[in-house]
Structure 1
């Protein structure tokens, strides 16, 4: 079996902490390293498409709501104060990535909509990151990917039910 950087990490720490569980330490360290790697890929994808992280996050949440949402919904999705979202939307609107339109259901409010340009730049960033995710997880066959996803779900259920966790 091929070795990775975590194998070296374990080799260093096992003599120092003899009761260290190499499977737990290995799993946690690999998860952290994979997250760090994918974060780096995402940041490069955003540089490539000329988006700031906060812009991408806002477009991503908006796309996840079908391309249209109230600013208050976006604020909730992003975990931000409404005033912070207003500033983000101002910049995105100046760039032509979103537009504000009268609400279809309540004429006292406005909705935010992705423009074609906004959807295109969001998709371009998603495609770059998704391509690398597929490449990396392509080391596993379909059955192994399903198994990994199922195992990680069990771990996340335990994490989300513990102190500081957040159950959906």
Structure 2
């Protein structure tokens, strides 16, 4: 029995008439998120990035151009202060540049540097392979089904935008 199963069993002893299925699903999703939340050294190599820092670089790479910090905050589910701190570190490491927006001088545009782009292009395939290993207990159909079910749960919580 996994940790969440043991926790659920303990709660079931205290509340035998309560439906604890939400704990069994949400608890496992949260636990998986925590356990998978840090990219192992073999994935990031000498880049020494946290997952969220890598997500910032990845968002910029996917965008193919500049992004505003507010959009990066939304895409990485971070606070504005956390994004500001991450951007400062990434700029100090030479992975991004920040410049005044050409559209609105009150805004800042964030772009990948060549070094930041190289890191994403090197680390992203390793990240995907690592995540494939995490999901190895599931066959292709089960992975697709899990992805669809999680998307269905997330849809009302995380509207597109």
TM-score (norm 1): 0.67
Cα separation, 1, equivalents of 2:27 and 2:98: 44
- 2:26 is aligned to 28
Q: Distance in 1 between matches of 2:17 and 2:114?
A: 56
Structure (1 or 2) with the larger CA radius of gyration:
1
* Alignment correspondent of 2:159: 167
Q: Is the CA contact (8 Å cut-off) linking 2:69 and 2:109 kept in structure 1?
A: no
Deviation for aligned residue 1:4: 2.0
**CA offsets 1:106-156 (integer angstroms, 9 cap, x no match):** 6x7985432331122234443444333111212111111111111112222
1:69 to 66, 70, 85: 66
Q: Which residue does the alignment assign to 2:49?
A: 51
1:21/1:129 CA distance change after superposition, 3 Å: farther
| Runs of 4 or more consecutive aligned structure 1 residues displaced over 6 Å after TM superposition | none
CA distance 1:18–1:11, change in 2 (3 Å): same
Q: CA deviation at 1:69?
A: 0.7
User: Shift of residue 56 of structure 1?
Assistant: 2.9
Q: CA deviation at 1:55?
A: 3.9
Mark the runs of 5 or more structure 2 residues left unpaired by the alignment. none
How many residue pairs align between the two structures? 153
Trace 1:1-168 onto structure 2 (pairs within 5 A).
Answer: 3-39=1-37, 41-42=38-39, 49-51=47-49, 55-66=53-64, 68-70=65-67, 73-79=68-74, 85=84, 91-99=89-97, 112-157=110-155, 160=156, 165-168=157-160
Give the direction of change, closer, same or farther, for the CA distance of 1:29–1:147 in structure 2 (3 Å limit).
Answer: same
